[in-house]
Amino acid sequence: MKIIVCISHVPDTTSKINFVDDDTKFDTNGVQFVINPNDEFGLTRAMWFKEKQGATVHVANVGGQETEPTLRKCLAIGADAAIRVNTEATDGFAVAKQLANVIKDGEYDLIIAGRESIDYNGGMVPGMIAGLLNANFVNNCIGLEVDGSNAKAVREIDGGKETVTTSLPLVVGGQKGIVEESDLRIPNMRGIMMARQKPLTIVEPAEVNRGTTSVSFEKPTPKGAVTLVSPDNLDELVNLLHSEAKVI
């Protein structure tokens, strides 16, 4: 089985977010970038298939040279090869189109992507890839087994979970549950050294028309001050809820 895991290069969740150029661009100064968490869950599941079923695992990313440390970390975790499409990741359709072209050329059986990236939270790339490839698609995937050319997946739905069966080729939008946080892997020294010898192929992008363009960014409104009320003063609490919070 040949697997490709789509990897987003995203800011660490502890990073301080700022914008520059009149709030039209994200300020990357001092920001630590990591593997998108939903993608890392998928990569860990792919490593399970490699170890248990002898699968070949590749990773792919759309981005500039600055994303290569993230791809190298994927190789250190155990992926066999990496592919970087040499263009800026802009809107969801452009990213999906670039990745779909890579996947077509590689003839992969299983395509794993995070259900969404934690930077833009668009949640559209896995489904678009499936549409462009005319492949089966399971989103919000929290369990995955493959037997030959058939797959059984568990996906999260409103109020519960659903188990489905399908066939390969299959695109999966993974999330926590496809593996647990305790299953995630930290690269060891041997993995880091071996990653330097593994292929990281750079491919030039296809011509793609962007469907959307970011006009400007805006931070959420800061939280207001907290007013503390003594538990013995219920009259004051009721008055504040009525006159200031206006919830009663």
For the cut 90, the answer to whether the pLDDT of residue 219 exceeds it is: no
Q: What pLDDT, in 10s, does the model give residues 71-91?
A: 999 999 999 999 999 999 988
Tens digits of per-residue pLDDT, 148-190? Answer: 999 999 999 999 999 999 999 999 999 999 999 999 999 999 9
pLDDT of residue 142: 97
Please tell me the predicted confidence (pLDDT) of residue 59. Answer: 98
If pLDDT is split at 50, 70 and 90, which confidence band does 47 have? very high
User: Taking a C-beta distance cutoff of 8 angstroms, is the pair 117, 92 a contact?
Assistant: no
Judged by phi (left if over 0) then psi (alpha if -120 to 50, else beta), residue 98 lies in alpha
User: Cβ(29)–Cβ(68) under 8 Å?
Assistant: no
Q: CA-CA-CA-CA torsion for 94, 6, 42, 177, nearest 10 degrees?
A: -10
Top mean pLDDT of 11-25, 69-83, 198-212, 219-233 is at 69-83
CATH of 2-217 given 3.30.1490.20, 3.30.460.80, 2.40.40.20, 3.40.50.620: 3.40.50.620
> How far apart (Å, rounded) are the C-alpha atoms in residues 45 and 174?
9
pLDDT in tens, 193-212: 999 999 999 999 999 888 88
* Angle formed by the axes of helices 37-53 and 68-77, nearest 10°: 30
Q: What are phi and psi of 228, to 5 degrees?
A: -95, 135
> What pTM does this model have?
0.87
More confidently predicted of 74 and 248: 74
